[in-house]
C-alpha cells in the first residue's frame, strides 16, 4: 500500500473513489477510499485496482459504501433522499423525527444528521418549506380561507400556519395573497 492510498483511506477521500479499492482481511469486505466505516488497521488492508479483482480473491462489496455501484452517491445521500421523498408525499400529515424513524426504519438522530449534512437544513425545516410552497400555490389559485389552506397543507390551526408562513416568507398569508392578486 502506497502512502497516498493510506492517506485517502484514513481521510475518507472521495476523490480517489474508482481509482483504487481496499479490502479488509478481517471482514472480507471491499470498500471505496471514502467508505464511512471505522478506519481500518493498515495491516489488514489489501489494495485492488478493480472491485472485480477483489471479488475474485474472495472479498464481497461493502454494504455501506457499495463499491460495485459507481453511480451510488452514498448512504447518507440515499437516506436524505428517502427522507425528502417521504416528506414530499406526506407533508400534510403530522411528521416528527419519530415518524420518520418509524417510516424509514433508521435511527432518528442519524436521519436528522444525514439530512442536514446533505441538504443543509433539518427535515423539519424542509417540511415547513414544502408546506409553505404548497400554501403559496393555494393562496394564488384558490378562494379558500387562510384557515382552510393552513389545515390543507398540514398545520393544526391558522395561528400556527400564519406564524410559520411569516417566518419563511417574511409576510403573512393574507398579505401574500393580496400581493399575488395584484
Active site (catalytic) residues: 31
Which are the contacts of 172, defined by CB distance < 8 A and separation ≥ 6? 162, 165, 166
User: Minimal CA–CA distance to 25: which of 60, 63, 68, 53?
Assistant: 60
Q: Return d(Cα 38, Cα 182) in angstroms, integer.
A: 58
Q: Return d(Cα 69, Cα 36) in angstroms, integer.
A: 16
Question: Is 111 within 8 Å of 79 (Cβ atoms)?
Answer: yes
Q: Return d(Cα 33, Cα 49) in angstroms, integer.
A: 12
Amino acid at each position: 500500500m502506497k502512502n497516498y492510498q493510506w492517506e485517502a483511506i484514513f481521510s475518507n477521500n472521495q476523490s480517489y473513489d474508482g481509482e483504487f479499492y481496499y479490502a479488509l482481511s478481517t471482514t472480507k469486505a471491499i470498500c471505496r477510499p471514502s467508505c464511512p466505516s471505522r478506519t481500518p488497521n493498515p495491516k489488514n488492508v489489501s489494495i485492488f485496482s478493480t472491485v472485480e479483482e477483489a471479488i475474485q480473491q474472495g472479498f464481497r462489496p461493502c454494504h455501506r459504501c457499495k463499491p460495485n455501484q459507481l453511480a451510488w452517491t452514498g448512504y447518507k445521500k440515499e437516506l436524505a433522499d428517502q427522507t425528502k421523498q417521504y416528506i414530499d408525499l406526506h407533508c400534510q400529515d403530522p411528521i416528527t423525527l419519530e415518524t420518520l424513524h418509524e417510516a424509514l426504519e433508521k435511527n432518528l438522530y442519524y436521519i436528522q444528521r444525514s439530512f442536514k449534512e446533505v441538504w443543509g437544513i433539518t427535515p423539519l425545516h424542509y417540511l415547513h418549506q414544502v408546506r409553505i410552497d404548497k400554501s403559496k400555490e393555494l393562496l394564488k389559485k384558490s378562494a379558500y380561507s387562510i384557515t382552510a389552506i393552513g389545515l390543507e397543507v398540514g398545520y393544526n390551526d391558522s395561528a400556527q400556519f400564519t406564524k410559520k408562513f411569516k417566518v419563511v416568507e417574511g409576510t403573512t398569508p393574507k398579505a401574500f395573497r393580496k400581493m399575488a392578486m395584484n
